[in-house]
Chains A and B, each alone.
Chain A
Amino acid sequence: MRELRYREALREAMIEEMDRDDRIFLMGEEVGHYQGAYKVSEGLLAQFGEKRVIDTPIAEAGFAGVGVGAAMVGLRPIIEFMTWNFSFVAFDQIISNAAKIHQMSGGRLKVPVVFRGPNGAAKQVASQHSHSVDPFYTNIPGLYVVMPATPRDAKGLLKAAIRCEDPVVFLEGETLYNVKGDVPDADEEEVIPLGKGRIAREGSDCTIIAWGRPYYTAMAAAEQLAAEGTECEVVDPRTLRPLDTDLMIESVRKTNRCVLVHEHWPYGGPGAEIVDRIQREAFDHLDAPILRVPALDVPMPYATNLEELVLPTTQRVVDAVKRVTYA
């Protein structure tokens, strides 16, 4: 094991995969000469050249579509959105094309493309640049949706995403790029299968389910509650479509209570989907209603005091756990 930053882990995943398979290329705005808007692709141009690290004009619909088309005929594109907020202008390519082609062609065409980039609120970038897009893409059959929280998961899951035969929406945390964490040594290849979650912390009193940045909020809340004698189990599904339902159900059967923490809005989305699955499959194991700690149901404000109000906080998670444990 060694310590890597989240962005370095992502970069390593791309380098290793591009070394392995020359059908893989990286395309997006500022990925090459600029070395990546968030420096994830730093050094890739020098290593792989302009043929495989391709700067594009500002034309998300265009280059997302090029990626899908190239994947249909055998390449394995990695399409970087400078942020997922800009993917909305390419929505049609991802939803009407990438997610539909395999079925629409009667199973005869495959689309092994990865769309990746930073997701969620950063700091004071206001409403148009602060979307957590997981609810939009998880609703679409035909897409994988992955949202890693740790450097290790970022690397192992991106490698799996690149190898996947289906389109993958890979949501990185904009505020997580500098987070450091243990990652297996360079000679120990780890490909983390898509659709498998992880128990990040064991506990018996309440299950907290969180992914992406709120994973850290959940862990902090669990620490605080442990000091007060409440042991939380923290589950990170890591992939939001398909969901590792069994893992979450098993945990809730043990703890009888569940709190979800997510950065997306409360209306629908994977948060509501998970609640639905748990109430259906673990109904007789629930000792309290399942509670969610989501972003507040407003467009993201600019002012820092308001932004802090909107995003899930440790205190809100602690309060929710106390409510479901009747503490």
Chain B
Amino acid sequence: MASGRDELLAHYEKMFEIRRFEEEAARAYAQSKIGGFLHLYIGQEAIAVGTNAALTDDDYVFQTYRDHGIALARGMSPNAAMAELFGKDAGCSRGLGGSMHFFDVENNFLGGWGIVGGHLALAAGAAFKSKYTEDGRVTVCFFGEGSTNIGGFHEALSLAGLWKLPIVFICENNQYAMGTPMSRTSPLDDLTLKAQGYGMQGDRFQGYDVRTVQERVGLAVKRARRGEGPTFIEVETYRFRGHSMSDPAKYRSRAELEERKKKDPLVIARDLLKEAGVGDEQMDEIEERVEAAIDACVKFAAAAEPAKEEVMWDTVYATDLSTKRGAGR
């Protein structure tokens, strides 16, 4: 069990890193150091970390605009992530994407996407490439339960099911599509019933214990890698913060939130580690290491060079236009 314990420790450390990263991002946002939209993943960390543990480094991952968690889980440095939030050239997208558009090509994290339902077909495209080139990779595509009502969801799952693409669709059901509970948007309680319509496997579980996520996503990934087609997974979760920083989350009661916080994946992992005999000292060591890294990333982001105008012009087109400053002249 020693290896299992070490793995859980590593998972805990990553989840704690994501939690502390976002808490500091929220602080920086409140200080106007971060602008635009900031969607926090706090409460959902077990899904990103558990899923990543079920993947290889070569596998492709797509996420919505709530993308900090999976980016860090994939291995993006907190420095690159925080610098992006601060709009700096050292950011993972050179300050051009911001919170919603993290990219990390080296770690095969292919984006935070801002239009609900818009990225599912892209993920199917990446999986299509794996099938076309037989590269053995699997694509994981995250989205919220709110996406399951939009056309892009249906077309992507339809094609992925038709072509048996190596892809796992993970619906992070955090109960609210912005402010609307699922009871008011879906005729189904069990979203995996939809999987049948696209000729794919469905699975459904709670996403509070990182080990459960790792195990169940792992089964779907194995199926995809064996060429047995896609899986649609619905994971029950809960976000502790509002939809974005400007959402006061009035649509739910404080009592509900406090009840849900009892299933905080970090608390669960901590309890499991305690049971497994991990002492306070070891936990403190992990937390100190994370605190130092997060503290450093905020300082790094604050001191980093601002985003560059020439990069803005140079990245409109990949081709070398004679006048990059605009095809629009």
Cα A56 to Cα B163 in complex, Å, equals 10
Cα A246 to Cα B159 in complex, Å, equals 45
CB of B315 to closest CB in A, whole Å: 4
Say yes or no: A65 contacts B319, CB within 8 Å. no
Known: A104-B93, A105-B105, A107-B314. A66 touches B115 (CB 8 A): no
Q: Enumerate chain B residues within 8 angstroms of A96, measured Cβ to Cβ.
A: 114-115, 118
Say yes or no: B312 contacts A103, CB within 8 Å. yes
Cα A166 to Cα B316 in complex, Å, equals 9
B162 proximal to A (CB < 8 A): yes
Say yes or no: A70 contacts B132, CB within 8 Å. yes
Chain B interface residues toward A at CB < 8 A: 60, 91-97, 101, 103, 105, 110-111, 113-115, 118-129, 132-133, 151-152, 155-156, 158-159, 162, 311-312, 314-319, 321-323, 326-329
Q: Which of A73-95 contact B (CB under 8 A)?
A: 73-75, 77, 89, 92-93
Say yes or no: B93 contacts A141, CB within 8 Å. no
Known: A105-B103, A108-B103, A110-B318. A65 touches B155 (CB 8 A): yes
Say yes or no: A59 contacts B159, CB within 8 Å. yes
CB of A4 to closest CB in B, whole Å: 28
Cα A314 to Cα B118 in complex, Å, equals 43
Say yes or no: A104 contacts B118, CB within 8 Å. no
Cα A141 to Cα B118 in complex, Å, equals 19
Cα A76 to Cα B105 in complex, Å, equals 18
A219 proximal to B (CB < 8 A): no
The answer, among B129, B318, B329, for a CB contact under 8 Å with A166, is B318
Say yes or no: A166 contacts B125, CB within 8 Å. no
Closest to A281 in B: B329
Total A-B residue pairs with C-beta atoms closer than 8 Å? 168
The answer, among A62, A105, A106, A242, for a CB contact under 8 Å with B158, is A62
A 99-115 binary contact with B (CB < 8 Å = 1; else 0): 00111111111111000
Say yes or no: A70 contacts B126, CB within 8 Å. yes
Closest to A51 in B: B132
- 9 shortest interchain CB distances as A-B pairs: A69-B125, A65-B121, A62-B155, A242-B327, A106-B94, A69-B122, A105-B103, A107-B315, A106-B93
CB of A191 to closest CB in B, whole Å: 13
Known: A105-B103, A142-B317. A69 touches B96 (CB 8 A): no
Task: Classify chain A: how many residues form its interface, as a range.
Answer: 35 or more
Instruction: Give the most central of B105, B125, B321, B327: most A CB within 10 Å.
Output: B125
Say yes or no: B151 contacts A243, CB within 8 Å. no
CB of A130 to closest CB in B, whole Å: 24
The answer, among B60, B114, B317, for a CB contact under 8 Å with A73, is B60
Known: A57-B158, A57-B162. A72 touches B110 (CB 8 A): yes
Say yes or no: B319 contacts A67, CB within 8 Å. no
Known: A65-B118, A106-B94, A142-B317. A241 touches B124 (CB 8 A): no
Say yes or no: A164 contacts B132, CB within 8 Å. no
Q: Enumerate chain A residues within 8 angstroms of B132, measured Cβ to Cβ.
A: 25, 51, 70, 75
Q: Enumerate chain A residues within 8 angstroms of B111, measured Cβ to Cβ.
A: 101, 104-105, 109
Say yes or no: A56 contacts B321, CB within 8 Å. no
Say yes or no: A61 contacts B119, CB within 8 Å. no
A123 proximal to B (CB < 8 A): no
Cα A144 to Cα B128 in complex, Å, equals 24
Say yes or no: B125 contacts A242, CB within 8 Å. no
Q: Enumerate chain B residues within 8 angstroms of A67, measured Cβ to Cβ.
A: 125
